Amino acid sequence: MKFKIGTSDELKLADNEITEILKEAYLDEGFIDKNRFKISFSSASIRNRGKIYCAREIDSNEIAGIVIAVDYKSAAKLFAKTNEIEMHLLGVKPKFRNKGLAKLLIEKLLESVNNTDYTKMLLCTQVKMYAAHKLYKAYGFIHNPSRDFKRGDRNFLFFEKLL
């Protein structure tokens, strides 16, 4: 299986595809409840967060994965200070998992901030996303327990990486 990786504009990511991938990766997997999904994961709010990178499976042209780079100036940023950037909503459809796609998306995101003024990349992830924790650590993200937090009934871990 081969993938094409690019920005949402380059790969012509449609609004229904944003909803579809986030539904499969977050709602269906139990990482967000239905009410919060409707409020926080509308395609308009996702597009307003920042620069979307996505992956399409080449043979089927199906959207397979997504990640968002959120600048410290964005209203959607959660923690970033000047010259920091956040990684939001890394998600891969279940049928495309274990094929190295999340790695390709992280690499694309890190490549996009190479030779910029950004000094640090931040992300938060739910405690139950064990595979994601391992992946982030493999790319040099360090868990900072002093910044872990709780939102509603969900606990989040905070990771950061110097760029």
More confidently predicted of 40 and 109: 109
Q: What's residue 153's pLDDT?
A: 87
pLDDT at 44 over 90: yes
- The residue range of the domain holding 140 is 3-162
Polymer length in residues for the chain: 163
The mean pLDDT of the chain is 96
Res 103 pLDDT > 90 = yes
CATH number of 24's domain: 3.40.630.30
Task: Give a three-class secondary structure readout of 122-138.
Answer: EEEEECCCHHHHHHHHH
Residue 68 contacts residue 29 (beta carbons within 8 Å): no
Q: How confident is the model at residue 116 (pLDDT cuts 50, 70, 90)?
A: very high
Number of domains in the chain: 1
pLDDT (tens digit per residue) in 2-40: 999 999 999 999 999 999 999 999 999 999 999 999 988
For residue 152, pLDDT over 90 is answered with: no
- Residue ranges in 4-149 assigned as alpha helix (H): 15-22, 34-40, 43-49, 101-113, 130-138
For residues 56 and 4, give the distance between their C-alpha atoms in angstroms, rounded to a whole number: 5
